[in-house]
Structure 1
Amino acid sequence: MTPPTPAIVSQKAAKALPRWALLLLCMAYVIPGFVVRDPWKSSDVSAFGYMLELARGKTSWLNPLLGGVAPETDGLLPYWLGALAIQWAPAGISPDMAARLPFVGLLVLTLVATWYGVYYLARSPAAQPVAFAFGGEALPTDYARAMADGGLLALLACLGLAQLSHEATSYLVQLCCTALVFFGFASLAFHRVAPALALVAGLAGLALAGAPALATLLGLGGAWVLWHAPAQEVAHRRTWACATLALLAAIAGMTWLLGLWGWRIVGIAAGGKEWLSLARLLLWFGWPAWPLAIWTLWRWRKQIASAQWHRHLWLPLWFSLVSIGATITTNPADRALLLGLPAMATLAAFALPTLSRAVAALIDWFTLLFFSLSALAIWVIWIAMQTGVPAKPAANVAKLAPEFAPSFSWLALLAALAASVAWCSLVWWRASRDRAAIWKSLVLPASGAALGWLLLMTLWLPLLNHARSYVPQVQNMLRVMPDAQQGCVQTYGLSRAQTAAFQYHGGLTLQPADSKNGNKDCNWLLVDASAWPAPPGIVQAAEWTPVANVPRPTDKNDQVLVFQRTSQLAP
């Protein structure tokens, strides 16, 4: 006899992950990467540049500009959040740290919404495990709590989440709003107010963050699943579906009035996608959630193929398909795939009750080796940076990061040591006996991802700041133009990230170059090397004398040419 679901879970296996352990894991993942770092190239620092312009009142809140250039993404909400945080932050907090504070909350909200989304889907009648003949099966709430723990662990374990979720950009806003929409549709069977607020905030936030088409697709798919859900599962399901459609219509009108509708589909005429690169991205970005998600689709295939449209399967499946479709058809691909990680993690959670002991052991051993070796490599290279031993890693760092001067921090060292000891303790705990909890197979992947991220953001943070920020280039540039901060500086061909970094780190007043209407009081000119020579209508080369070519130390292709007005040269 075929069981109604493939999930066979005892009450012992539905044991919840200790709350203190889950909170510590989330803190170890969320906090590093948001604190004590510079804005990084390039989306992070360019978004911060727009936030700073808004906070200082130098541009319109409905049409933000940086150096006369509009943002690369069409959303407004991320820049509003960062600008308001800068304005409201206490005086002791730097503007770049203040701008990141709302995004810390957005990442936390993403994790919370994902946990509750999985929890309410796992409480669906069709998601319940098989009832045992003599009792002892998992209770619905305990089973749902254990599944939610597994879903959150699967999300934290995704390799592609770490960096992008710690950047103060529109993509983190979109991720949070996607998780809110997912939670809203998942919890409608149990609550009314919270799901309604989540759907309004999530769909409107997606549209205001530059993804109105994605909001429309997710909303339409969610409404379809609601409409076809079993009547006994969601009360007034068709009323909710119609309300969702009305909300989508209102949001579409709002985004049209704000001019936020736009298509970024990559066509064949434009070169299309590099399919090999895309395949590599799909392979590693969602690891280990996507293999488990595929296993879920196989083990739950009869429920997926049934005419009942079970929400615990179709809702995360639709969200995942929309994200993968956007990854294939739009740029940047990794940012589009980021939005599907909560749904993939949900599908991965429903694989946990169906995994065999051999598969669980394989996941554990692979994770143990991968993250232990990665942590060891991070420690060895850090020791080499501090002491010069081993010599080869130290030489490689010096070659790849010229001008880098290692620094030592007791706080960073203690945090890294504590994380490493916790990892060793966790490995011992996992290997010491056969654990029954269904989330056990994802404890090591999630903890290993948190360990690697924390070590990078503590031991390697000075190196990463040197390699990924514009501070070294700005410092070298100011040495050759010492009086530039007292006047204005003309620019040509600079990217948004360069403009933001030069204004913030260098304290420069930048103006776009214009040979006809330009400010003759600007005695300095900065030009991206790839944009030189400039058209005569913009820059009269005879008026300027080259002074220096200043590259970023870690990227020789990123060079800025420094010119001084010829009339200002010393005789």
Structure 2
Amino acid sequence: MNQPSPAIVTQHAVRPLPRVALVLFCLAYLLPGFVGRDPWKREDITAFGFMSSLAELFNGHASSWLKPLLMGQADPGAAILPYWLGAWAIQWAPSWITPDAAVRIPFALLLVMAMAATWYAVFALARNPSAQPIAFAFGGEAQPIDYARALADGGLLALIACLGLARLAHETTPALAQLSFTAALFFGLANLAAHRRTALVTIAMALPSLALSGAPSTALLLGTGGALVMAYQERRTIRVRMLDVGLIFLICLATAQLSSWMDVWRWRLHSPSFKDVQPMAKLFIWFLWPAWPLAIWTLWRWRLQVAQAWKHPHLALPLWFLAVTVCSTIGTGLSDRTLLLALPAIATLAAFALPTLERSLSALVDWFTLVFFSVCALTIWVVWLSMQTGWPAQPAANVARLAPGFSFSFSAPVFGIAAVATMAWMALVKWRAGRHRAAIWKSLVLPASGAALCWLLLMTLWLPLLNFGRGYAPLVDKVSSLIGPTACVNTQGLALSQSAAFAHHGRYRLIPIDTPKAPDCHWLIADHIALKEVGVSLQTWRHRETIFRPTDDTEAIVIFERAMP
């Protein structure tokens, strides 16, 4: 027996979010972070290093396309496909585009794909009969297509609103590729009943792509479990259901075989303990905010359907994706990059809370969002004003203490973009308080817009400071001022991120000191922590200087000069 839907929605409540406004909003969230930013430590610059090595930029340190190497070391995460995408972008980009800017192009498109796949997945799941609102006795209920479109808009807004998405989704790392292909797989499974051929092609693309992006076990779990979840569709014949499950299982087997052939299986299991409870709670609360309260509300209001979830794919499919990614996060040491893969699923669950929200709860979400993001935006502006004018004095003093040596300059275009974005936020708050009060997606407009505003302000007003604080360019510039241009530099114990930074920013040919038949370079740079464990021959090398990264006194580079015979 099918349980009644808790959604009571009128046609008036599913008015569409204007498409132009939605596209412009997505672009305002997408572009900041991909334009004008240096590669940051550590995963971002490390991934760029692997891509540049494949593209043969690092002074002859080319690596195999089947096993990307950086300074002779393989990626611990065994990702391959994201590095191919970045290397191809470097090779195909025109000469006026710098390599670090070129690699951001395919990754920006991956974020676009993740957004689009989430929208269409929610749209497909919302058209399922069990997800539809209750039909009124005298008509006037929301039409299926309009209802699905309104929920899809809400799902996309919920995805953008998640605080954990902003930074990781704007890095050129395998994590973004995994998010994009997880969303594509989610889309394919959600559309299996309505658009079978498109869905199977998408699944056949997404599963091996996710595996080659460093998540083969997650790909197989999501694919096999998702196939079983979507097999139970009352509108389809048993023969079609079983055929689709069999085809997806074959794709999973082929993906497993490909993963073995490409040697991308990595087991990074971590046994959770009681001391992990508090960090785990903090990670889940802030990373998945504000989608997780709405997802819990969905599970409560749709609880009768949750009890028979296998009959209701709009609940079962996102619950399966969420369960797999949350368990993977716990089992891999609370990695936020693993939890990133849960965002399309939890955004979908949050979307299905919208037609059941009570007015008081919706108002609470609006007021909390308004206060939280307004305070965040005001803080960003105040710190920027302090760095520009010295008033108020305390923020500028804090910046000088935390980022010694940083000098700030005024940029009229940056100021204009930030000012327009802030005025748009004010106009949106006024708009939210007035018109379109009945639209079911209204409760997620302010959370998504607030997240986009604060991210845009950070990536405009604070971008020079963030590049200085999170990048390696200041450290490399200090080292370069001492050693100057040189044919080669020996290295000792450098992390992959440090090696990539010196190769990119300094254009040095780096040769580890323990490399067989390594040439005798005039300079040696070593990580100060690794140096304590290994040391160098004082008969061969003479210590010149120890240089700390300006914003981190725990990270330093020790410079040695070859002793004269």
Q: Distance in 2 between matches of 1:509 and 1:283?
A: 44
Residue of structure 2 equivalent to 1:253: 257
Q: Which sits farther off after the overlay, 328-337 or 454-463?
A: 328-337
Residue of structure 2 equivalent to 1:276: 278
- Deviation readout 1:62-120 (Å, 9 max, x if unpaired): 11111111112111001000000000001100000001110000000100000000000
Residue of structure 1 equivalent to 2:549: 552
Q: 1:515: how far off?
A: 8.4
Q: Distance in 2 between matches of 1:307 and 1:185?
A: 16
Q: 1:233: how far off?
A: 8.8
Residue of structure 1 equivalent to 2:365: 363
Residue of structure 2 equivalent to 1:302: 304
Q: 1:486: how far off?
A: 2.5
Letter in 2 for 1:551: F
Q: 1:6 to 1:74 in 2, by over 3 A?
A: same
Q: 1:300 to 1:307 in 2, by over 3 A?
A: closer
Q: 1:516 to 1:352 in 2, by over 3 A?
A: closer
Residue of structure 1 equivalent to 2:430: 428
Residue of structure 2 equivalent to 1:458: 460
8 Å Cα contact 1:226/1:238 also seen in 2: no
Residue of structure 2 equivalent to 1:488: 488
Q: 1:160 to 1:233 in 2, by over 3 A?
A: farther
Q: Which sits farther off after the overlay, 73-82 or 427-436?
A: 427-436
Letter in 2 for 1:422: A
- Deviation readout 1:206-229 (Å, 9 max, x if unpaired): 100010000010011111112233
Residue of structure 1 equivalent to 2:350: 348
Is 1:68 the counterpart of 2:55? The answer is: no
TM-score by length of 1: 0.96
- Deviation readout 1:154-173 (Å, 9 max, x if unpaired): 00000000000000000000
Is 1:105 the counterpart of 2:102? The answer is: no
Aligned pairs for 1:8-157 (under 5 A) are 8-56=8-56, 58-157=62-161
Q: 1:272: how far off?
A: 8.6
Letter in 2 for 1:13: A
Residue of structure 1 equivalent to 2:224: 220
Q: Distance in 1 between matches of 2:192 and 2:242?
A: 12
Moved over 2 A (4+): 226-235, 271-275, 306-309, 514-518, 533-536
Letter in 1 for 2:564: S
8 Å Cα contact 2:11/2:142 also seen in 1: yes
- Deviation readout 1:447-468 (Å, 9 max, x if unpaired): 0000000000000000000001
Q: Distance in 1 between matches of 2:267 and 2:274?
A: 15
Q: 1:515 to 1:151 in 2, by over 3 A?
A: closer
Letter in 2 for 1:526: I
- Deviation readout 1:332-383 (Å, 9 max, x if unpaired): 6100110000100000000000000000000000000000111011001001
**SS in structure 2 opposite 1:274?**
helix
Q: Distance in 1 between matches of 2:82 and 2:343?
A: 20
- Deviation readout 1:381-428 (Å, 9 max, x if unpaired): 001011111101110111111110002211111110110010000000
**SS in structure 1 opposite 2:103?**
helix
8 Å Cα contact 2:491/2:524 also seen in 1: yes
8 Å Cα contact 2:192/2:230 also seen in 1: no
Letter in 2 for 1:437: A
- Deviation readout 1:417-445 (Å, 9 max, x if unpaired): 11001000000011125700000000000
Pick from 185, 195, 198: which aligns with 1:194? 198
Residue of structure 2 equivalent to 1:241: 245
8 Å Cα contact 2:89/2:102 also seen in 1: yes
8 Å Cα contact 1:289/1:348 also seen in 2: yes
Is 1:166 the counterpart of 2:170? The answer is: yes
**SS in structure 1 opposite 2:69?**
coil
Residue of structure 2 equivalent to 1:7: 7
How many residue pairs match? The answer is 560
8 Å Cα contact 1:188/1:234 also seen in 2: no
Residue of structure 2 equivalent to 1:316: 318
8 Å Cα contact 1:230/1:308 also seen in 2: no
Q: Distance in 2 between matches of 1:143 and 1:371?
A: 29
**SS in structure 2 opposite 1:260?**
coil
Q: Distance in 2 between matches of 1:113 and 1:172?
A: 14
Q: 1:461 to 1:235 in 2, by over 3 A?
A: farther
Letter in 1 for 2:554: N
Letter in 1 for 2:208: A
Q: 1:274: how far off?
A: 2.8
Q: Distance in 2 between matches of 1:16 and 1:41?
A: 41
Aligned pairs for 1:477-556 (under 5 A) are 477-482=479-484, 485-514=485-514, 517-520=517-520, 522-533=521-532, 535=534, 539-556=536-553
Gaps of 5+ in 2: none
8 Å Cα contact 2:548/2:554 also seen in 1: yes
Q: Distance in 2 between matches of 1:275 and 1:499?
A: 35
Output the aligned Cα RMSD: 1.7
8 Å Cα contact 1:125/1:233 also seen in 2: no
Aligned pairs for 1:391-430 (under 5 A) are 391-430=393-432
- Deviation readout 1:147-189 (Å, 9 max, x if unpaired): 0000000000000000000000000000000000000011112
Q: 1:3: how far off?
A: 7.0
Q: Distance in 2 between matches of 1:286 and 1:534?
A: 40
8 Å Cα contact 1:42/1:497 also seen in 2: yes
**SS in structure 2 opposite 1:557?**
strand
Letter in 1 for 2:33: G
Q: Distance in 1 between matches of 2:368 and 2:488?
A: 56
Pick from 550, 562, 565: which aligns with 2:562? 565
Q: Distance in 2 between matches of 1:90 and 1:112?
A: 28
**SS in structure 1 opposite 2:193?**
coil
**SS in structure 1 opposite 2:499?**
helix
Gaps of 5+ in 1: none
Letter in 2 for 1:556: D
Q: Percent of aligned positions with the same letter in both sequences?
A: 54
8 Å Cα contact 1:324/1:340 also seen in 2: yes
Q: Distance in 1 between matches of 2:326 and 2:52?
A: 33
**SS in structure 2 opposite 1:262?**
coil
Q: Which sits farther off after the overlay, 91-100 or 433-442?
A: 433-442
Q: 1:533 to 1:307 in 2, by over 3 A?
A: closer
Q: Which sits farther off after the overlay, 401-410 or 100-109?
A: 401-410
Q: 1:237: how far off?
A: 2.0
